[in-house]
Amino acid sequence: MQGVIKSYDPGTGDGVLINEADLADVDLADNALEGSIFRMLRQGQRVQFDLDDTGRATRLRLGSEVDMSTPDL
């Protein structure tokens, strides 16, 4: 899955991204940055992610500029 960071608080690690597939907000899991190249996230940054059992984004990776497009609404 791919999305865009909507908000991120580096102090608490809380964050939200927008899922490209359905434009839904997805909360970041507590361990979303563990094992990734990211130490910090910025608003508008494109990322690939998986969903954990609770539906939160985890395993963040660099997103692709090519794959990201505006869905037809």
What pLDDT, on a 0 to 100 scale, did the predictor assign at position 73? 43
**29-56 core/surface letters (b: 16 or more CB in 10 A; e: else):** beebbeebebeebeeebbbbbeeeeeeb
Domain encompassing residue 56: 2-62
Q: For every one of its 73 residues, what pLDDT tens digit does the chain have, with 9 covering 90 and above? A: 999 999 999 889 899 999 999 999 999 999 898 888 888 899 999 999 999 999 999 999 987 765 545 555 4
What pLDDT, on a 0 to 100 scale, did the predictor assign at position 68? 47
pTM of the model: 0.81
Helix (H) or strand (E) holding 58: strand 57-62
Q: How many residues does the chain have?
A: 73
**50 beta partners:** 58
Instruction: Tell me how far apart the alpha carbons of residues 14 and 64 are, in angstroms, rounded to a whole number.
Output: 23
What pLDDT, on a 0 to 100 scale, did the predictor assign at position 66? 57
Q: Is residue 70 part of a domain?
A: no
Q: Domain total for the chain?
A: 1
Q: Is residue 35 part of a domain?
A: yes
